[in-house]
Amino acid sequence: MSASAAVAVHSLWTTAAEPAADRIGAPAIEYAQLAPTLIVVGAAVVGVLLEAFVPRRARYHAQVFLTVVALAAAFAAVVALAAGGHATTKAGIVAMGAIAVDGPALFLQGTILLTSMVAVFTFAERRLDPAHHGHRVDSFAAEAAAVPGSDQEKAAVKAGFTTTEVFPLVLFAVGGMLVFPAANDLLTLFIALEVFSLPLYLLCAVARRKRLMSQEAAVKYFLLGAFSSAFLLFGVALMYGFAGSVSYARIADVVDGSVADITPALAGTMGNDVLLLIGFAMVLMGLLFKVGAVPFHMWTPDVYQGAPTPVTGFMAAATKVAAFGAMLRLLYVVLPGLRWDWRPVMWGVAIVTMLAGAIVAITQTDIKRLLAYSSIAHAGFILAGVIAATPDGVSSVLFYLGAYSFVTVGAFAVVTLVRDAGGEATHLSQWAGLGRRSPLVAAVFAVFLLAFAGIPLTSGFSGKFAVFKAAAEGGAGTLVVIGVLSSAIAAFFYIRVIVLMFFSEPKPEGPTVAVPSPLTMTTIAVGVAVTLALGVAPQYFLDLAGQAGVFVR
Amino acid sequence: MNPVNYLYLASLLFTIGAAGVLIRRNAIVVFMCVELMLNACNLALVAFSRMHGNLDGQIIAFFTMVVAAAEVVVGLAIIVSLFRSRHSASVDDASLMKL
């Protein structure tokens, strides 16, 4: 570096004292456009205060009320923004360039908020387990810090403690997820990732039953999640090194070579494609980890199995929506200029993900692990739409995410109902003959399985059709063929579960189906309703996703 | 000194951290290796900040420190609870859910 450049650099942190005071302007924050996120995060902070000040008896009701009201208010804010034209004509960048408020962001935020609301109902469910010492219990540990089986734990159960902290944790996670698909620079992307990941790690660790498995799932998720976010951060550093900025628009300009003000340093780094390609690959790695795509899927089955089932449902649905939203924005806004570099890689990832998810799922014997591998296969199907790199690709992915998240939350809600003395009966052999014993629950679960399999008249079919159509039109015909093949493989094990439920004899000492409170019933009913509505009459929602499919830059 | 050398150092530290995560068996040591990776990121960010002559990279380094601190809080809580119930923090022992 030349001497003059060095002086210029040093002048950045050694400046004359007088003008500095009036040169730092307050940032302009558009509170109205940020309202959904602010409501959720604000409610989460209030939730922490409730933990401190509200007496233990009243906490559960206060927290559930606060959480549901906050999510509903945030959803109303999203609808108001969309109705006000912020999804289309008035789409823009807010908060000093950190957050984009546009069609995809608002659509995904709405999806995340609705899914989390129905997922929170399953968090609040307290009628599945018999009451302990006269206290009704939910799915979460009486005292998560107590060693499993210890006297301390027994005392906590006897005293009727509950982990009501899960509700503020969910709100913090939702807050991060709302920002994640709207992040418009790499720093916001990283912070949002951590904000929604850290509460999820904790939520995984607080199951009431099978606590060792729950803790193990949390450790695995935490260590691998931290590992992958370190990769993402190093990718952020390299991309910053390449472009001299973390703003998406600026990086896109530098990639296209259309920047006006090229400094000598920028001229040096922007010729260095290694920085860009490695940096981009590492950021993408972090995102693919979050969606659970092969080869970054190893955590998915263990975490889905070990985490408390309400948390699994929430995590499986909402994390996927948020992470695919962030991936779409990164690929479509920042790096359309690199399309010829990332498409072959993503082709490979999508093919391996679809096939591995579908094939390994066949060998599973645990219903939660089965659904985990099915979610891996679905990540592959969604990637096919991402690869299309057309406007239809964006809207089909948005539609698929909306359809898939409700099916997932509903399916995991049904899993919480089938129980034996040790808690949930998740082994597939225990589900044999469920259709004879509780036809309604089995029928509802069959609807969800058919939607996962993509049978017509369910949302799974409309979603898969939209994604594969977009992929075929985007020139990924081979991918569509492989996608349909792996759908057929996947259909085999979904149908196998249905056959197991309806056409085999129930075991005498088999599990019972708990009668849930209206909370879980609402979750399941909403899941079924959305699944059938999006399957029978998808056009309105496809149009909605189509209108929302344009990113602001 | 040429700032590019700091980038080589950052890559080296990052690689050591990543190798540690894959090789070491104690959850605490694995976690420390992740922290080493985050610090390597910080070094790279600050070096790039110096090269480009803008402050974005240094700001991000501050954010990274805060995130790393938050991660320590959550991570140690989880690892300690695992250790207390199993009397072992080895990531190999945690295998209840293998097929």
Q: Residue A436: inside a domain, yes or no?
A: yes
Q: Residue B22: inside a domain, yes or no?
A: yes
Q: Residue B96: inside a domain, yes or no?
A: no
**CB atoms closer than 10 angstroms to residue A350:** 26
With an 8 Å Cβ cutoff, is A298 touching chain B? no
Q: Residue A417: inside a domain, yes or no?
A: yes
Find chain B residues with C-beta within 8 A of A227's C-beta.
Answer: 18, 21, 34, 37
- At A258, the pLDDT band (50, 70, 90 cuts) reads confident
Q: What is the pLDDT of residue A5?
A: 54
Q: Are A300 and A375 in contact (CB under 8 A)?
A: yes
Q: What is the pLDDT of residue A245?
A: 93
Which H, E and C letters describe A317-331, residue by residue? HHHHHHHHHHHHHHH
Q: CA angle at residue B68 from B67 to B73, to 5 degrees?
A: 95
Is A26's pLDDT higher than 90?
Answer: no
With an 8 Å Cβ cutoff, is B39 touching chain A? no
Q: What is the pLDDT of residue A20?
A: 55
Q: Residue A48: inside a domain, yes or no?
A: no
With an 8 Å Cβ cutoff, is B93 touching chain A? no
Distance from CA of B80 to the nearest CA of A (A): 9
Q: What is the pLDDT of residue A25?
A: 79
Stretch 419-458 of chain A: residues touching chain B, C-beta under 8 Å: none
Question: Which range (A24-28, A181-185, A215-219) has the least confidence?
Answer: A24-28
Residue among A73, A110, A94 at smallest CA distance from A183: A94
Q: CA angle at residue A284 from A113 to A188, to 5 degrees?
A: 50
The tens digit of pLDDT for each residue in A344-364 reads 999 999 999 999 999 999 999
Query: Running DSSP on this structure, what letter comes out for residue A182?
Result: G
With an 8 Å Cβ cutoff, is A11 touching chain B? no
Long-range contacts made by residues A471-474, C-beta under 8 angstroms, separation at least 24? A471/A384, A471/A385, A471/A387, A471/A388, A471/A393, A473/A388, A473/A390, A473/A392, A474/A387, A474/A388, A474/A389, A474/A390, A474/A392, A474/A393
With an 8 Å Cβ cutoff, is A230 touching chain B? yes
Of B53, B67, B82, the CB nearest to A191: B67
Residue A381 belongs to domain spanning: 338-548
Q: What is the pLDDT of residue A272?
A: 86
Find chain A residues with C-beta within 8 A of B51's C-beta.
Answer: 1, 241, 265, 268-269
Query: Running DSSP on this structure, what letter comes out for residue A475?
Result: T
DSSP codes joined into one string, A291-321:
HT-TTS-THHHHHHHHS-HHHHHHIIIIIHH
- At A397, the pLDDT band (50, 70, 90 cuts) reads very high
Among A234, A272, A278, A296, most B C-beta atoms within 10 A, so best to mutate, is A234
Among B13, B21, B45, most A C-beta atoms within 10 A, so best to mutate, is B45
Task: Give the chain A residue whose CA is nearest to the CA of B22.
Answer: A227
Q: What is the pLDDT of residue A493?
A: 92
Phi/psi at A145 (5° precision): -80, -15
Q: Are A419 and A309 in contact (CB under 8 A)?
A: no
The tens digit of pLDDT for each residue in B33-80 reads 999 999 999 999 999 999 999 999 999 999 999 999 999 999 999 999
Distance from CA of B52 to the nearest CA of A (A): 5
Phi/psi at A514 (5° precision): -75, 145
Q: Are A295 and A352 in contact (CB under 8 A)?
A: yes
Q: Residue B13: inside a domain, yes or no?
A: yes
As a whole number, the mean pLDDT across chain A is 92
Residue B21 belongs to domain spanning: 4-86
Is A395's pLDDT higher than 70?
Answer: yes
Given an 8 Å threshold on Cβ–Cβ distance, is B54 in contact with A12? yes
- At A14, the pLDDT band (50, 70, 90 cuts) reads low
Distance from CA of B54 to the nearest CA of A (A): 8
Longest dimension (CA), chain A: 85
The tens digit of pLDDT for each residue in A518-534 reads 999 999 999 999 999 99
Given an 8 Å threshold on Cβ–Cβ distance, is B45 in contact with A226? no
Q: What is the pLDDT of residue A23?
A: 67
The tens digit of pLDDT for each residue in A259-291 reads 888 888 888 888 888 999 999 999 999 999 999
Kindly state the tokens that stand for A528: 């079924």
- At A15, the pLDDT band (50, 70, 90 cuts) reads low
Is B89's pLDDT higher than 90?
Answer: no
Is A27's pLDDT higher than 70?
Answer: yes
CATH number of the domain residue B66 falls in:
1.10.287.3510
Q: Please state the length of chain B.
A: 99
Q: Cis link prior to A295 (omega < 30° from 0)? A: yes
% of residues, chain A, pLDDT over 70: 96
Interatomic CA distance for residues A515 and A512, integer angstroms: 9
Interatomic CA distance for residues A526 and A379, integer angstroms: 23
Interatomic CA distance for residues A354 and A484, integer angstroms: 10
% of residues, chain B, pLDDT over 90: 82
- Which residues, at least 6 apart from B7, have a Cβ–Cβ distance to it below 8 Å? A241, B44, B47, B48
- At A131, the pLDDT band (50, 70, 90 cuts) reads confident
What average pLDDT score do residues A331-341 get? 87
Is A32's pLDDT higher than 90?
Answer: yes
The tens digit of pLDDT for each residue in A463-485 reads 999 999 999 998 889 999 999 99
Distance from CA of A520 to the nearest CA of B (A): 27
Interatomic CA distance for residues A68 and A6, integer angstroms: 55
Interatomic CA distance for residues A85 and A309, integer angstroms: 38
Q: How many domains does chain B have?
A: 1
Q: Are A202 and B75 in contact (CB under 8 A)?
A: no
Q: Residue A147: inside a domain, yes or no?
A: no
CA A456 from chain center: how many Å? 25
Q: Residue B92: inside a domain, yes or no?
A: no
Q: Are A301 and A373 in contact (CB under 8 A)?
A: yes
Is A1's pLDDT higher than 50?
Answer: no
Q: Residue A274: inside a domain, yes or no?
A: no
% of residues, chain A, pLDDT over 90: 76
Interatomic CA distance for residues A233 and A302, integer angstroms: 25
Q: Residue A394: inside a domain, yes or no?
A: yes
- Which residues, at least 6 apart from A83, have a Cβ–Cβ distance to it below 8 Å? none
Q: How far apart are the first and last CA of chain B?
A: 54
The tens digit of pLDDT for each residue in A368-388 reads 999 999 999 999 999 999 998
- Helices A367-387, A391-417: axis angle to 10 degrees equals 170
Of A212, A219, A241, the CB nearest to B78: A219
Distance from CA of B7 to the nearest CA of A (A): 10
Find chain A residues with C-beta within 8 A of B78's C-beta.
Answer: 201-202, 205, 215, 218-219, 222
- Which residues, at least 6 apart from A309, have a Cβ–Cβ distance to it below 8 Å? A122, A139, A368, A412, A415, A416, A424
Which residue is it, tokens 């990832």? A349
Q: Are A175 and A199 in contact (CB under 8 A)?
A: no
- At A336, the pLDDT band (50, 70, 90 cuts) reads confident
Q: Residue A411: inside a domain, yes or no?
A: yes
Find chain B residues with C-beta within 8 A of A212's C-beta.
Answer: 85-86, 96
Is A423's pLDDT higher than 90?
Answer: no
Q: What is the pLDDT of residue A239?
A: 95
Judged by DSSP in three states, A33 sits in: coil
The tens digit of pLDDT for each residue in A304-329 reads 999 999 999 999 999 999 999 999 99
Q: How many domains does chain A have?
A: 1
Is A491's pLDDT higher than 80?
Answer: yes
Q: Residue B94: inside a domain, yes or no?
A: no
Q: Which residues pair with B26 in a beta bridge?
A: B90
